[in-house]
Every structure is written in structure tokens, then in C-alpha cells.
């Protein structure tokens, strides 16, 4: 029996729909295992701008900081996508959360449930057995460097920056993880073009001397983008900078069949944040068709990493596996063989996970 | 009958092997059509550093500038990949060529030869009919911004920069190309994170008013990386910044079955440069197995774009198509059905193209 305080931050668009399901799964686990979880809900992103005039208030941030873990949804709104001149943007709430909570390591496990082999656009024989763990750096790079305009607004600039220390701390987490897995680490950079890439490579090369048991390869980010599709099984752990990690993990979602399947953990100095890697997806918001599995699997990561609850975590994954085995799918992961009556919406999939958890 | 002067710049690694084949194809076309092509050969990259102490000499650059077109191979060497502290690097020759020749537009056509449907790691039913033309900006971004170290070398930085003018000129080429194709343009940026991305989106949005016949969509670079694999047929023309273009086109090479199949044209203010999108690939250098088709198709682009020789260009493509139809493959594009005696090396494929050109 453990007491934990969890902050729910659904954010925008389908973030609301999938996080509602995620929360129910946490509650079910608490009931089943006799844990005492308490909750706060906070605003972030567009909904926060609308309600408070800020994409993330100090108060919401403090609530997160004082919690044991945050279950987050997504931020974003077409309004801002179409207006590149907007000064206040939903994403600023996300960046503030990442920076202020010191969430420098974003773990994105890419693993295909066997039942979804057919749902990917990649050939099953290329995919089968692929199992990649990304470590995306999350508080540096162009995301947090100086940016702005000059020449009367006619020139825009973004500064990418990395310090040795920033590279070391994310690389250390990746090396340590590789030790518990297949002992292979790929570091992806653009050392042939960027000075940050050369520093990155230098640091990883030096650290590899402390990890003689880990097989390290350095790949350019462009080559990595190609190899991920050509031969995903060659990778075990991949560590990379913020911007490359953003692109490469979105791409790698196709290895898992759909972005709707992928969860992530953002960890660092304090409270961890758990979230789907998909965005707010306003094109499908309100239709009840969003895949909640990424949020459910985010709960599994939360239980495991922030609370050390291995058994609880595995049960959540097992529940998802069971319903996939039983043939249930959301639209995004249905293939041409899926029976129409087994294609379910967000809430129905959520309910199935809850009843499966009851039975397990 | 036309008189043209062509500069051959094989560069490093397999650049040498594939460009030798490319040159023979140009010579054959000249003979067949009665053109008078003259040639100069220049050094670039690691071979140039070794011979002259510079990755691209002023003299070599002037020779390129004064020619009608450049057939280029690749640059790079493992020595530098493993030594991030090296001050002089082969890639600097490439960047100098791109900048000094004003090659701001890099065209990368991604099209699958039907015969190679089986060779890709992506499912044939997802690929069939995919036909994408990338416009990668080539003289801006972190490639050419200020970069360096501070804090006693402990912090590295790279500046990404774009001016309105730089975005406009590449976008204009992309819009114009879309007009001759399926009239769809996707602009890929990170306007949700980067100021350069917001300027990029602003400019493309404004220009779209001049092109009411073109259907424009803005996608984030990460989403584009995902959609390229999920549904490549949704794209027609894609325009993007230098760094995103580097990553997305390498990734997209898997749509064409192999990087060894993809040619590119770099054009702008003066002489155009034609090159495979693959690199120097030192792991297979000297083995005679490199796929020369990217260089051969670069010749086709050169004849078409720089010389306006449509018929000659189409004949080169037809020759490649014919040998693929006859079942011949290099190793990288062979699938499990390819008969062993039809898997050929660089030179043998080159010879086949020449005899096919004789017969056509
Ligand atoms: C919403 C967006 C700013 C964000 C990012 O680029 O980091 C998202 O793509 C992600 O991966 O979390
Ligand atoms: C060799 C390298 C510097 C180059 C680049 O990053 O532009 C290459 O990947 C390319 O795409 O031409």
C-alpha cells in the first residue's frame, strides 16, 4: 500500500479524451492493489491560455512540482499553427514544464505488439522483434536557445546550444539503460555539420571508455532516419539531441504500427511527466476515435519509473496486450483484416481495459 | 548538336566508383546524339585535403563555376567521423561548393521503379505509385550560420538562420514545380518551436495567395517524418529547410527501395551540380559493389535541367528501367527473389547501361 499524489494535465484536443482514459486506469490500479492515490487536475496549453491568459501558470507548475508524478496529454491548437506571428503559444506551456521540472531525459520505447504486425506500413519480416528505446534530450537545443528576428523582422534565427554537462547526463542514462538491455548504443548527431554535434560525439566517445561492455556506434541523424526504416532491428538504445529526437521518434512510431501506441516518460531532477508521443490532433478531436493506448501505456511507465511498481505496470501492459489479442482495435491500428465490430472508439477501448484489469 | 563543358568531381569513397560510371554514360549519350562534351576533373573532400591541403581549392571552384554543369560524387572519410575535433573536414568542400555556386535549391525526386516494389522495407501496397519531389533549401540554416564553442570549449553552439528572401526563392521553385505536377505542396517546418520555422510558414502562406491553383499544406517536420512512411502517396512536392531536408530525404530513400537509387540536382544562380544523395560509404569502398544508378540518374537530371536535353535524359532513365526489368540488380536492391547470377557489381551494371543505350 503506497500513498501517491498524481497531477493530471490533459491539455488540448485529444489530450483530454485519452488522458481521461489514462486516469481511469490509474484509479483502477489503485483500487486493485490497495494504493491510495490522490489527484489534482491542472490546465496547460491552449485551454490554459483561454482560461488564465498563460500557457502554464506558476500555480499549475507548483502543483506539478509538488506531486509524485504527472500524467500529461498534449498541447496545440490549429489557431496557432495557422498564425505563425502569434506571440503566446500553447507549446510554451510544454517547454516551461520541461525546463522548470528539469525533465532533460525523454524516454520513448518503440516496441511493436505482435498482434499489430499487420497494421504497420513496414513489412512484418522487417519489423518482427524490433525493440528500440530512445533517449531524447529534452531541455536543450534550438528548443531553449536564443531565438528571434533581425533586419526589421526579415531574418529569423534560432540558436542550438549544448554543454558538455547536458550531453553527459542524458548519455549516462542511455548507457545505463543499454546495460540492462542488449548492450548496444547508437548516438545520432550531425557532427559532420554542427558544432553541437561534434561536442555531442566527443562526449559520447569519451564516456564509452567507462562502458567497455556497451557496443557504441555513431550515426549521422540523416542516416539514422534511413536505417530506422530499412532495418529497425539493428537498434537497441538510441540517444540523440532534442530536435533530432523529435523527428526520429515520430518517424519510429511507424515501427509500432501507429503513433497512437506510443508512450513516453520525461524524467530528470524531480517529478516525472508521462505522456503519449502523439499531439493534440484537432482533426479528430471530439469524434471519440482517438487511440487511448498511448496514454494507458504512459500510465504503465509512470507506475514503473516514478513509483517503482513493476507488477502494477506489467498488469497494465498485459491488459492492453489481451485486448489486442482479442482483436479489438481503434481505427488507426485496424488493418484490412480487422472485423468492423471490433473497431472501437476511445471510451469503449478504455472500458475494455478496465474490465480486463478486473479479470486479470 | 550542342557543345558543353562538364566538370567531373568524384570526391571520396564510392563517389569515385559511381561517378566513373556516370561519366561513361554522359560520354555515350554525347556519342549517340552527336554532342560535343568536354570534361575537366577536379578534387573535392578528403582526396583534395590530402593532395592540396584544402577540401576545395579556389582553382577547382573556378573550374566548376566556368562549366556548364558539374557531376559530383560524395565527400567524407571515417577519419573525420571519428575525430570530432578535426579543424579541416571534407564536408567543408561540399559546403563551399554549395554556397559559392549559389546552389540554394536541392531537388530530390523520390520515385520507385515498379520493378523494385519488393526491394523496399515498406509494403508494396503502401508504396505503389508514390512520386515525391523534394525541394531542400541548400545554402542556409545551421549549415551556414555562426557556430563555435564558448566556456572554454564546454559549450557548443550552431545558429540556424533564414531570411524572407531565402525562403521565397526556394518556395517559388517548389510552387512552380507543383504546377507542372499534381498541384500539391507540403511545406515542412517546426513553426511550433523555431522562429525560423515561423518565418518559413509566414512566407509560404503569403506566397500561396499567388498560387490559388496549388493545394498547400503545412506540416511539422516530425509529423512529416511519420507521414512519409505511413502514407507516401499523400505527398506531391515537399519544400523544407536544409537540415530537415537532409533528414527527410535520407528517410524517403526507403520509398525508392535504396539510397543507391536516388539522384539529386542542386541549382540556383549559375552552374548546376548533380549528385547521388548517398554518401561516400567507406564501408563498401573498393569492393566494387556500390550501386551506380544514383549517379546514372544524376546524369539524367543534368541532361534535362542544365542542358534542356529531354530526349537524352529520358533515354538514360529508360536504359536503367530496362536493366531492372531484365532482372539485374546491385546488392542493395536485390530482394530474396533475385537470382544470384543477376546480382552485379558497379562496373557490370555500368556496362549493361552502356550496351542498353547502344541498343535503344
Ligand atoms: C508539440 C511540440 C512542440 C513537441 C515537440 O516538438 O517537442 C512534440 O512534437 C513532442 O514531441 O513532444
Ligand atoms: C555529407 C553531408 C554533410 C551532407 C549534408 O548533410 O548535407 C549529406 O548528408 C547530403 O545530404 O548531401
- For chain B, the residue count is 360
Strand partners, B132: B110
Task: Name the burial class of residue A191, with classes exposed (0-12), middle (13-18) and buried (19+) by CB atoms within 10 angstroms of its CB.
Answer: buried
Relative to beta strand A184-189, strand A237-240 is parallel
Instruction: Say how many Å lie between the CA of residue B134 and the centre of ligand 2.
Output: 15
What the block records as the C-alpha cell of B128 is 505503389
Which DSSP string corresponds to A230-298? H-GGG-SEEEE-HHHHHHHHHHHGGGGS-GGG-EEEEESSS-EEEEESS---TTTTTTT----HHHHHH
pLDDT attached to residue A265: 98
pLDDT attached to residue A11: 98
What the block records as the C-alpha cell of B271 is 552552374
Strand partners, B158: A160, B147
Task: Name the burial class of residue B36, with classes exposed (0-12), middle (13-18) and buried (19+) by CB atoms within 10 angstroms of its CB.
Answer: exposed
Relative to beta strand A155-163, strand B215-220 is unpaired
- Provide, as residue numbers in chain A, all residues whose Cβ is less than 8 Å from the Cβ of B78: none
Does domain B1-109+259-360 fall under CATH 1.10.1740.10? My reply is no
**Residues B222, B269, B335, B358: which is the catalytic one?**
B222
Lowest mean pLDDT among B84-93, B97-106, B177-186, B217-226: B84-93
pLDDT attached to residue A85: 87
* Type and span of the H or E element at B307: none
Instruction: Say how many Å lie between the CA of residue B246 and the centre of ligand 2.
Output: 6
Q: From the CA of B292, how many Å to the nearest CA of chain A?
A: 19
Residues sharing a CB contact under 8 Å with residue A274, sequence separation 6 or more, in sequence order? A69, A70, A71, A72, A263, A264, A265, A266, A298, A299, A301, A302, A305, A306
B190 is catalytic: yes
User: What per-residue string of b and e applies to B37-75 under the rule 16 or more CB within 10 Å gives b?
Assistant: beeeebbbbbbbbeeeebbbbeebbebbeebbbbbbbbb
Task: Name the burial class of residue B323, with classes exposed (0-12), middle (13-18) and buried (19+) by CB atoms within 10 angstroms of its CB.
Answer: buried
The ligand minimizing its distance to the Cα of A243 is 1
Whether residues A164 and B154 touch (CB distance < 8 A) is answered with: yes
CATH level 3 topology of A121-256: Isopropylmalate Dehydrogenase (3.40.718)
The ligand minimizing its distance to the Cα of A90 is 1
Residue B341 among known ligand-binding residues: no
The yes-or-no verdict on residue B249 having pLDDT over 90 is yes
pLDDT attached to residue A53: 97
Which DSSP string corresponds to A27-89? HHHHHHHT-EEEEEE---THHHHHHHSSSS-HHHHHHHHTSSEEEEEE---HHHHT-TT-SS-
| Cα–Cα dist B230/A340, whole Å | 21
Matching CATH number, A1-111+257-360, of 3.40.718.10, 3.40.190.170, 3.40.50.300, 3.40.190.10: 3.40.718.10
| Whether A253 contacts A262, CB under 8 Å | yes
Among A165, A194, A254, whose Cβ lies nearest the Cβ of B229? Answer: A254
Whether residues B122 and A229 touch (CB distance < 8 A) is answered with: yes
B131 is catalytic: no
- Provide, as residue numbers in chain B, all residues whose Cβ is less than 8 Å from the Cβ of A191: 81, 84
Question: Hey, CA dihedral for B286, B288, B290, B296, is it positive or negative?
Answer: positive
- Provide, as residue numbers in chain B, all residues whose Cβ is less than 8 Å from the Cβ of A168: none
Does ligand 2 come within 6 angstroms of the Cβ of A226?
no
| Whether A144 contacts A159, CB under 8 Å | no
> Residues B3-29: pLDDT tens digits?
999 999 999 999 999 999 999 999 999
| Cα–Cα dist B91/B76, whole Å | 6
Q: Quick one: DSSP state of residue B236?
A: S
Question: How many other CB atoms are there within 10 angstroms of residue B213's CB atom?
Answer: 8
Which pLDDT band holds residue B84 (cuts at 50, 70, 90)? confident
Which pLDDT band holds residue B275 (cuts at 50, 70, 90)? very high
Residue A98 among known ligand-binding residues: yes
pLDDT attached to residue B82: 86
Q: Quick one: DSSP state of residue A182?
A: T
pLDDT attached to residue A242: 98
Instruction: Say how many Å lie between the CA of residue B160 and the centre of ligand 2.
Output: 16
| Cα–Cα dist A96/A105, whole Å | 15
Does ligand 2 come within 6 angstroms of the Cβ of B279?
yes
B189 is catalytic: no
Mean pLDDT of B280-309: 97
Selection from B244, B248, B260, B243 nearest residue B329 by Cα: B260
What the block records as the C-alpha cell of B294 is 544514383
pLDDT attached to residue A21: 98
- For chain A, the residue count is 360
Whether residues B195 and A148 touch (CB distance < 8 A) is answered with: yes
Chain-wide mean pLDDT for chain B?
96
Give, for all 360 residues of chain A, the pLDDT tens digit: 899 999 999 999 999 999 999 999 999 999 999 999 999 999 999 999 999 999 999 999 999 999 999 999 999 999 998 898 888 999 999 999 999 999 999 999 999 999 999 889 999 999 999 999 999 999 999 999 999 999 999 999 999 999 999 999 999 999 999 999 999 999 999 999 999 999 999 999 999 999 999 999 999 999 999 999 999 999 999 999 999 999 999 999 999 989 999 999 999 989 999 999 999 999 999 999 999 999 999 999 999 999 999 999 999 999 999 999 999 999 999 988 888 889 999 999 999 999 999 999
B183 is catalytic: no
Residue B68 among known ligand-binding residues: no
| Cα–Cα dist B169/A229, whole Å | 32
pLDDT attached to residue B346: 98
A1-111+257-360 and A121-256 share one CATH topology? yes
Selection from B349, B274, B276 nearest residue B304 by Cα: B274
B246 is catalytic: yes
Annotated domain spans of chain A: 1-111+257-360, 121-256
pLDDT attached to residue A139: 98
For a pocket test of ligand 2, which of B56, B76, B94 has the largest count of ligand atoms closer than 8 A to its C-beta? B94
**What are the pocket residues of ligand 1 if the criterion is a CB atom closer than 6 Å to any ligand atom?**
A 76, 91, 94, 246, 277, 279; B 192-193, 222
| Cα–Cα dist A110/A263, whole Å | 9
Residue A270 exposure: Cα atoms within 13 Å on the Cβ side: 16
DSSP SS3 for A101: coil
Cell 566556368 identifies what position?
B66
Q: From the CA of B158, how many Å to the nearest CA of chain A?
A: 5
Instruction: Say how many Å lie between the CA of residue A279 and the centre of ligand 1.
Output: 7
Whether residues B247 and A225 touch (CB distance < 8 A) is answered with: yes
pLDDT attached to residue B113: 93
| Whether B22 contacts B292, CB under 8 Å | yes
| Cα–Cα dist B124/B118, whole Å | 7
Selection from A147, A267, A187 nearest residue B190 by Cα: A147
Question: Which candidate in B87, B223, B247 is best for mutational testing of the A interface (most A CBs within 10 A)?
Answer: B247
> Residues B121-148: pLDDT tens digits?
999 999 999 999 999 999 999 999 999 9
Strand partners, A150: A155
Amino acid at each position: 500500500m503506497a500513498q501517491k499524489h498524481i497531477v493530471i494535465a490533459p491539455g488540448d484536443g485529444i489530450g483530454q479524451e485519452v488522458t481521461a482514459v489514462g486516469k481511469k486506469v490509474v484509479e483502477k490500479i489503485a483500487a486493485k492493489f490497495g494504493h491510495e492515490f490522490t489527484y489534482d487536475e491542472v490546465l496547460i496549453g491552449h485551454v490554459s491560455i483561454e482560461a488564465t491568459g498563460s500557457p502554464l501558470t506558476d500555480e499549475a507548475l507548483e502543483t506539478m512540482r509538488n506531486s509524485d508524478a504527472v500524467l500529461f496529454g498534449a498541447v496545440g491548437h490549429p489557431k496557432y499553427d495557422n498564425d505563425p506571428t502569434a506571440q503566446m503559444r500553447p507549446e510554451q506551456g510544454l517547454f516551461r514544464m520541461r525546463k522548470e521540472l528539469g525533465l532533460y531525459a525523454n524516454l520513448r520505447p518503440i516496441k511493436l505488439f505482435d498482434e499489430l504486425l499487420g497494421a504497420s506500413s513496414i513489412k512484418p519480416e522487417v519489423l518482427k522483434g524490433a525493440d528500440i528505446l530512445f533517449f531524447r534530450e529534452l531541455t536543450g537545443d534550438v528548443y531553449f536557445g536564443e531565438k528571434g528576428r533581425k533586419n526589421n523582422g526579415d531574418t529569423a534565427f534560432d540558436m542550438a546550444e549544448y554543454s558538455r554537462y547536458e550531453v553527459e547526463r542524458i548519455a549516462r542514462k542511455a548507457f545505463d539503460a543499454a546495460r540492462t538491455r542488449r548492450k548496444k548504443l547508437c548516438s545520432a548527431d550531425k557532427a559532420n555539420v554542427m558544432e553541437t554535434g561534434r561536442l555531442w560525439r566527443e562526449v559520447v566517445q569519451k564516456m564509452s571508455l567507462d562502458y567497455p561492455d556497451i557496443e557504441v556506434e555513431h550515426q549521422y541523424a540523416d542516416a539514422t532516419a534511413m536505417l530506422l526504416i530499412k532495418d529497425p532491428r539493428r537498434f537497441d538504445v538510441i540517444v540523440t539531441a532534442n530536435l533530432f529526437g523529435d523527428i526520429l521518434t515520430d518517424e519510429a512510431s511507424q515501427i509500432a504500427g501507429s503513433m497512437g501506441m506510443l508512450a513516453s516518460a520525461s524524467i530528470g531532477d524531480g517529478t516525472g511527466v508521462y505522456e503519449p508521443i502523439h499531439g493534440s490532433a484537432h482533426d479528430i478531436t471530439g469524434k471519440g476515435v482517438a487511440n487511448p493506448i498511448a496514454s494507458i501505456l504512459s500510465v504503465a511507465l509512470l507506475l514503473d519509473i516514478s513509483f517503482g511498481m513493476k507488477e502494477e505496470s506489467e498488469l497494465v501492459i498485459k491488459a492492453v496486450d489481451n485486448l489486442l489479442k482479442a482483436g479489438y482495435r481503434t481505427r488507426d491500428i485496424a488493418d484490412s483484416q480487422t472485423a468492423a465490430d471490433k473497431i472501437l472508439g476511445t471510451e469503449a477501448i478504455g472500458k475494455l481495459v478496465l474490465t480486463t484489469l478486473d479479470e486479470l
